[in-house]
Structure formats: structure tokens, C-alpha cells
Chains A and B, each alone.
Chain A
């Protein structure tokens, strides 16, 4: 039996947060201006992710292209030092493949792909450190990098994970919490309540799902605001540089 009190009777989680609090969320855009068209760095608690976007561009292999819309290519590189126990991960690992597919499907809908026919948008994600909410951090990093690359999107996609402990929904799980409860990751379109991404690991009773969805939507909106602030701050810096 685990000897950690995940949610105490006094309403505090193992790391001192309350049920509906996000972890520290910090982000930067345009972190690697020389090696990519758009880049970003996201820290969600101790989960740290870098994302580089190249494109829209002409691909090496033309045969796979669509004449209707842009093609998305996601590469996910999870560093072997990203967890406490060092472990080499293969790209072909099922879990990684699942994440890649989920990200591709999400952003095919979020990017206005039809204005970039016959092109390739390549997204490279590097996970430096994992502490739960991997898919959410990746989604947020990709959103920021795409915006930085100037690729047309319908709106922000902001994502956060949430879980259910007994009857209490908990927002933004860290790795230890993720291990003991089923985790729902949602991606929200802008300020709306539209879901761009919904992934549930394990299972949740149907009647509890709504409460988990509600807090994760509220959490995503808060993340959108932080990301928006960063994009605007960076925009101002760019503007002041170009105008001077």
C-alpha cells in the first residue's frame, strides 16, 4: 500500500495544493529562433517540454502529400533522463506512438490546414523532464510553437489533466497522483468549452465525469490566459525590435 496521503481530510493534496489548483505554469515562445521557424518551452510543475516547429515547407518525399491541405508530422523525443529512473525509450514504443497520433489528430483540426496545401508542417517535441500531464504539456507547447511560427490556427488549444480521487476531482495531476488514479486529459479550444482533445486513461464512472470535465475546462482556460499573456508579451518585444 502506498504510504502517501493523496488527498487529506483537510482538503490538501500531497504537494500542498487544493483540489482545483494548477501547478506552476511557465512558458516562453521563440526560444530557438535560429534553428526553427517557431519554438516554445513549457514548464508545468516539473514537467518540462521544448517544442520546435518547421514549416510550412516542401517535404523531401512528395508522394505522401495532400493536395487539399497541409500534412502534419509530429516527432516526440522523450529524453532518457526525463524520469527518476533512467530508461531508454524507443520511438516505436506504443505509448509514444499513441501520444503522437493524439497530437496529430488534435492539431489537424486546430490548424487552418486548407490554406497550406502541398506542404509539410513538422513538429518536434523534446520532453526534458516528466512529472505527470505529459500530453497536456506537449499540447500547450505545440500551440505556442505553432503561434510563434506564424501558422494560422483557429484558436489556442490549451490542455490540462485531471483525475478523480474517491469522489473528489483533482486538477493537474503530478506523476505520483497519475499513478494511482485514472487520468483525463482535455484540450480546450480558446475560451470556449469546445473540446479539441479528450483522452481518458483507465476508467471513470459516468456520473463523475462531468465534475472532472468541469474543473479541467476551468483549468484549461486559466492556462490559455497565461499562454496568451506570454504571446502578447513576446509580440510586444518583437514589435519594439522591428519598429526601432
Chain B
């Protein structure tokens, strides 16, 4: 529908028109009219232009836009000096190429393109915007929709896409003419990059130099480097139909279906044991909907947001108790496969086996309760595609390909994902390397998704490549800090000192001078970023004064700066075995903010008056200046406290702290705080070769818990204060009660195997029942149970106080009603926000707007929750990799525990190394003789010696640990073999 709208001139250079469009919402149509102002003062931002500098208008700060497009743009053999204009499809499909540092300079992005990109993909839009912001690529946005010269009104019977294409072409021709008229010094051509044939043809008839991406890349002087990065164009590849996936439904049908309740929307979660089985959680069903098999999954990736349709009840099934890995099923596929085969034979056999199992067991009540509804994917709302790391499958590379591009498969490190078909000339060189690929599309006729090669990380199993792969896989930003971030640091660098004049400005006047206090810090050995320090002293009235001093990061990281934005987006520091990825630049983290001993530092202090039972009498918060007397490691602190001959004030203070911390801990445990366990280990590096040398279980000293108790206390006190001051937007952390269903399985196993049970009524009840579950024959059993209970818990999460009601603020694990993170601002962004909110709450400085806006706080919380989770996964993956390396030289036999039993394998945990591994039935013994007893969680089989063995959950088993290189994913892992 198009309405003819008049334009109305307001003043010279400003015209108003109306944008009229019809929006359908909830089935009805709404006509929307918006004003649209057209102007003549939008600069072209080319340094060559003689006209545009005179028409500029300043922004609210009185600043003008910078002219970015170079005055000596790149010269091509066929095309001369040129600027580029990008079409939407180029940005959407080839953003990696556009971001490449070796090509694509002096680019003009029309606003039409920018808006189309934002409507299609927000992440790509963000990347495009980042390109426009950084100076080195010389990207500019031209607001063609707002310029009098380039605005086009939609015509009758013109589709919105045609209108946008026309607007982009209009921009190209205007820009060409504008430069011809206003830059006599150098003639610059406009090259319009467009992969849409129709649009390109029209552009050429209009006299615009329009090219496809491939044509343009070929014309570049460094075409060889870039050629492989050009995404595959699915229209060019007419491949044979390997498989016909069902087509997705139309958007209208999807929306209609979701609305009237026949279709459901949710996020796909592929089982980590079976890549052909996915589950979708939808609110209307208690159990997740199962997606079984390739066709039901219908090209959905792990993490995609999809629309599913329920299958008839006759097809509902229980989740398979089989373990299927892609590698096993289709190692023989070739990328150029032309056979008609739709489902490989092996795959079919597995499905049949599965079907047989479910037919054999007549649906008794027991089984009926396990049956889950099944569904199929009928549409994809949003892809979770990102960069993936993998390596080329050696079997898929043909040797005689020479330099002609050939197809090959990339097997991704993530086992839940299918392999990706890429087209490259470099396949033989890339064999045995970790490479990064991007996915372009997954047409319904192709069995595998199509992608393209992005870059190589290095050899498989080299520490650098593995670390980088790990960081990429967990979406951790590890690139060095950019220049505009580093520009936010104090100019004095390492020479920065606490000012001597304490009446200098209004802020320093508000700081309290605590340099006289005997402050010290206690951290792990070799800790460089010291977040926290403590002091304690006896007061004349018999109470104790205890102070926790936290690095004053927000003195350096001001809200709204590039540094702050970077910190917010990184969210947390990431600790790997051999590497630390900082959230904030080194200068701050390890020097200026770090509360190093013997130097004066700014701090944010929480000072309590505690009575002798560690009850809080009074609490004060203040920005302060401190001077740490000593930085202890946990062991050193412990030694000093234990040494009776030390009677100085500092040691006395530490003894007070220790004594109070014990009381605090007892109180916490009495309130029902959980004492959970994780199989965490630490990898020791050989100091000379920096090779991993040995693995050790993390130890706990009394001084560990000394620091921990006071940090908890500080976090709780700050949480209360911030919530008081900002009831809607305080940054808090909650830990939800675990739903009873999470414990069903564990409790059943406990009942069957040990005759015990854990109670879930409250965290107190859980803590007590965990204490009771002791097996006198096996002292480790209790710890094992705690590890398994931890896995049934919900994850703690950050949130802003407006998102939940007060009763839901509760931190289940710590058994407190309100909690936040305040004590590690160097390595966590939550703490930075908490610092700013506390500073505002005590009237030190006004709070930045973004921290009191509910919407923005929610975005921040969402991001830091995700980053926090990714950082944990990355850390664990790093440990797993290094444990695998250590095992290379230390193959041994260890004691393990079966923690899960499947019909074709068992999962064993080895506490000594924190390794958990699957032992498949094939390696256990004879497959055919195996009997799986689901009631008793046990598997009976004939082992290789011919003896019959039964293994059940919680059983102690002896296992051989070997380091094995997975042939398919090239991941080295410690593998377990039953002894």
C-alpha cells in the first residue's frame, strides 16, 4: 500500500514528508504515519570534497563529524581510484571479508543498507557499526534516507525491497556526480558491490560501476589472499540432491501457528551424547519436546531459536539411552557425494535398534512416565551461527585437486554440531591445522551446511592454536585492547601515584585517609591482580573493627568511556591454565588498581564494627586511601598466624580475622549454607619448559576461608545498601532453589543403590541430609555425592533488582536473602557496577544514567551472565586439555566411580585427576551379551576375559587412564578403560 505524500518545505534545507506504512499486528492492520525530515546538510565525508566541509552542523557537544574517506583511495587496474558502496547482501553474507584488514577500504554504507542489516541481524549490524567507528578501515555511513538529493519515495506497486534497491542505486549515482562536481583534484569512481543479479543489472544500465563480490576481489592486487574468504554463493552451486529436508513454513504461517497455539517456539538443545537427538523446552509442556533424527531436526543447530510442530502421540518416545556420535555414523561420506542415499545404512540400523527397544517394552506406567512428546522443526527464527573452530577431515580431501578449488568437510570441535562443507584451494595445506570457518547457508537439498574458510590458527595440538581455538569456541574476546580503550588510561602510566595534596579536588576530599591502618592482602601464590585487602583491630569497647578494602577500579574506569564499554562487553577475566585473558588492561589490573604492598592505593572500603560473636553492630562504606603492609600467600599467612612468636599488631589483626571468620562460617552453615564440591584440579606447569607437569586437587587452608568469609560479608552488606538506594536497578546475584525434578534421578539412584535420600525442603535440610549420606566403607562417597548434587543445582545469575520480587533474590547456596559481587572489580564487571552504585549511594559521585535504567541493566546482566558461563567453560576446557597433555607421560591405573550408566556405556569419574569419561560398551566387552537394568541402574556384560561383570551407579571401579587423540576432532583427551 502506498500513499502519495506531499513534501513540505520548512526552511531552506529542511523539508518534511511523511512515511506511511501499514503494520500488521495480532492479525489486525494498523496504519502508521511518521514524520520524515529531509535535509541538505548531510556531508559525503570524503576528504576530496570541497563542498561538504561548509555545510556541516555541530552536535550537542559542538563537535563536527570527521572526514574519513581517503583523498588517495586504492587504485585498481580496471576502475581507477575508487570508493566502495556495499549492498545489504554483501554485508550480511561476507562481513568477515569486509572486516578483513587487507582489503575493503574507503567504504560508504548507505543508511538503507545499515537499516536492512539491523533488521536482519543485530550482531552483524554491531560489527558494521564498529567498522564505521574505527578509523583504520575508513568506513562511513551516509544517511541517504535523510538527504534531499537521495531520498526516494516508494512508488505504487513497488515492493519495499525494490524501493530500497533503488534508494541504494540512487545514492551511488548521486555520490558519483557529487564527487565529479566537487573534487576536481582527483577523479574517483564509485564501485557498487552487489551480489543480486537483478539489482546489479539495473545499476549497470543506470551507468553505475556495479560488480559482484567475486569480480571485485579478483581485481584487487592481493586477490590471492582474499579469494578463499569469499562466501559460497548457494545460487551458483547446483548440486545433486543428497537429501531433501522439508522446506520451512512461511513466516506468516509460523507467526499464525505460534499465535493460535499449534506451533511452539524454543531453543534447540542437542544432546551431548547423541548428535541426532535434540530437545526444545517450551513453556506449555512440562517435559522438553524431543527432536529425533536428521529430518526432524531439519537443519537446526545447537542453540538456534526454532519453531516446532508437535507429532502425533503414537510417535512419542522416550529419550534414547544410546550414545551416537557423528564420527561413527558417517566417516565415509565424501563432500562430492552423488549417491542417492538419504539416510546412511548405519544410521538406519541405529534407528531401528532404538525402535525395537521401545516396541519390546510394552508401555507400562513406568515407561509411560518416561515417554516424551516428540516434534519436528518447521522454521528457524534466529540462527546461533558464529565462527566455529574445527579441522579438515583428511578423508574428504582429494589429492589430485591441485590449485582448483575443491570441496571438503570441516569437522567442528563441538560434537553437537554437524560437519561443514567448505570450498577452498588450500585444503592440502590446511590438513592437520585448526581452522576457523563461518557458515553461509544450509539449503534444503544439502545434507550439510555450507561455509567458508576464515583463517588458520596453527597446528593441531600446538599450545597456541589450542588455546586460541578454545577461546574462540567459548566466544571469549582475547584480542589486545584497542587504541581508543588504552587512551582512557591515565597518561602517567606506571608512574601514577596517589596525589600528595589531599585537598586537591572535591573527590579526593571525600576520601578517607586509612593509611595508618595495618592492612594486608591474602591471595593465592603469585597473584598479580590483588582485588582485596583486610585489616582488623580491637576497639576500646571490646568490639572489633574489621575493614575490607577493595581496589577502586571505578576511579579509573569511568562510565561511558571506551574502556568501560570494553569491560562491559568482556564481562569477566578468563583464567586458563597457562594464560589469563584480562577484562581490563594490564596497567590497571596488575598495577594501578591492584592493592600491591608497600604502596599507596585508592580503595573502596567497607568497615564494620563486629561484636565478639561476629554480629554486625555498624557498617560504613567509604572511598579511601590505603597502604598495604604485606601481600601474603595463603600458606605464608597460615604460617605467620600459627607462629606463636609473632606478636606484632599485624599478626594480631590477622588472628582476630581468623577467629571472627570461623564464627561467620559457623553462622552461615547454621543458616543452611551448602558445602558443595566440584572435582576441581590444578595443573602445575614445569617452571622451565612451561610444559604441564602434574595435576593436583585444589587444597583448602583456613586462610582461604578467612578471606572468603569477609568477602561474602562485604558482598552482602553492599547488596543491602545498593538495594536500599536503587530498589529498581541494583546489580545483584541470585541463586534459585533447585526444582525437585532435578534431584529425582539422583534420589532414585541413592534409594536403589544405597538406601539413602537427600531432602530438598530447604537448603538447610539439603545440607543436613548431605552430611548424613556417609558410606562407612568409602570415605570419598560423600564428596562424590556432593559433586553430583552440585550438578543438580541451578546456576547462580546476575540480575537487576527490578527483574524479580524480593523473595526471589535469595541465594540458595549461601543461604542469604540478598547478595551481589563487589569484591573483585578487576576481574568482574558486576563488581564495577556495584562499585558505582555504592559510590552513588554514599553520595560520592552521581550514578551514571545507564546504571539506573532498567532496560540497560538487563542487557548488561544478560551479557555478564553469558560471559561468566563461557569463562567457566573455557577454564574447564583448558584444564581438560592440559590434563590430557599430562597423561601423555603419566599413564596409570586409578580408582574411579561410575556416575551414570547407559545401555551402551558407563560414565566414570576419576577424582584424582578430576577426569570424567565415557567408557563405551564396545571397549567394556561383548556387546551382545550386555543387559541393561534400568531399574537398578546397572549394566551386566561379559568382559574380555569371559567373566560376567555388573557395574552399577556409585560402584568403585579401577580404570586405566590413557591420553588419546580423538581422530576425528583431533582433541587430545584423557580416556578411560575399565581394568
Contacts and interface: CB of A to CB of B under 8 A. Distances in A.
B24 to A, nearest CB: 13
Interface string B842-855: 00001111101001
Contact of A206 (B10, B14, B846, B850): B846
A235 interface: no
Majority SS of interface residues in chain B? mixed
Nearest to A129: B33
Interface string B565-604: 0000000000000000000000000000000000000000
Given A16-B146, A17-B37, A169-B60, A24 B16 contact: yes
Interface string A33-59: 000000000000110000000000000
Nearest to B840: A205
A168 B62 CA distance: 11
Given A5-B118, A205-B846, A168 B59 contact: yes
Interface string A1-45: 101010011111001111111011000000000000000000001
Interface in A134-176: 164, 166-169, 174, 176
Contacts of B39: 16
A24 B141 contact: no
A81 to B, nearest CB: 11
Contacts of B177: none
Contact of B849 (A5, A9, A205, A211): A205
Contacts of B14: 21
A167 B850 CA distance: 10
A20 B849 CA distance: 21
A74 B60 CA distance: 37
A174 B866 CA distance: 35
A203 B846 CA distance: 13
Contacts, number: 80
Nearest to B57: A18
Interface string B1-37: 0000000101000101010000000000011111111
Contacts of B59: 11, 18-19, 168
Chain B, interface residues (CB within 8 Å), range: 35 or more
B810 interface: no
A217 B852 CA distance: 27
A164 B143 contact: no
Contact of A3 (B38, B118, B852): B118
Contact of A46 (B31, B35, B57, B855): B35
B145 interface: yes
B662 interface: no
B119 A3 contact: yes
A60 interface: no
Given A10-B65, A46-B33, A174-B35, A19 B143 contact: no
A15 B36 contact: yes
Interface residues of A, number: 35
Given A1-B859, A16-B39, A168-B59, A8 B143 contact: yes
Contacts of B848: 205
B143 A12 contact: yes
A24 B60 contact: no
B102 interface: no
B846 A207 contact: yes
Interface in A55-91: 84-85
B35 A15 contact: yes
A47 to B, nearest CB: 10
A211 B60 contact: yes
A9 B132 contact: yes
A164 B848 CA distance: 13
Nearest to A202: B853
A95 to B, nearest CB: 21
Nearest to A15: B35
Contacts of A15: 34-37
B36 to A, nearest CB: 6
B560 interface: yes
A205 B840 CA distance: 12
Question: Which of B16, B119, B145, B848 is most buried by chain A, counting CB atoms within 10 A of its CB?
Answer: B16
B667 interface: no
Interface in B57-79: 57, 59-60, 65
B433 interface: no
A86 to B, nearest CB: 9
A85 B30 CA distance: 7
B830 to A, nearest CB: 21
Contacts of A46: 18, 33-35
B751 interface: no
Contacts of A9: 129, 132-133, 141
Question: Which of A8, A9, A15, A16 is most buried by chain B, counting CB atoms within 10 A of its CB?
Answer: A16
Contacts of A169: 60
A79 to B, nearest CB: 15
A48 to B, nearest CB: 11
Contact of A166 (B10, B31, B129, B849): B849
A236 B115 CA distance: 48
Contacts of A164: 849
A23 B35 contact: yes
A184 to B, nearest CB: 14
B146 A24 contact: no
A164 B850 CA distance: 12
Contacts of B32: 84
Contacts of B34: 15, 46, 174, 176
Contacts of B141: 8-10
B271 to A, nearest CB: 31
A11 B32 CA distance: 25
Question: Which of A9, A11, A23, A203 is most buried by chain B, counting CB atoms within 10 A of its CB?
Answer: A11
Contacts of A176: 34
B382 to A, nearest CB: 13
Interface of A: 1, 3, 5, 8-12, 15-21, 23-24, 45-46, 84-85, 131, 164, 166-169, 174, 176, 203, 205-208, 211
18 contacts: A8-B143, A11-B65, A12-B42, A16-B36, A16-B37, A21-B14, A21-B37, A24-B16, A46-B33, A46-B35, A166-B560, A166-B849, A166-B850, A168-B59, A168-B60, A203-B852, A205-B846, A211-B60
Interface of B: 8, 10, 14, 16, 18, 30-39, 42, 57, 59-60, 65, 115, 118-119, 122, 129, 132-133, 141, 143, 145-146, 560, 846-850, 852, 855, 859
In the A-B complex, the 3 residue pairs with the smallest Cβ-Cβ separation, listed nearest first, are: A16-B37, A16-B146, A11-B59
Given A23-B16, A46-B18, A46-B33, 9 more contacts: A9-B132, A11-B65, A12-B42, A12-B143, A20-B60, A21-B14, A167-B60, A168-B59, A176-B34
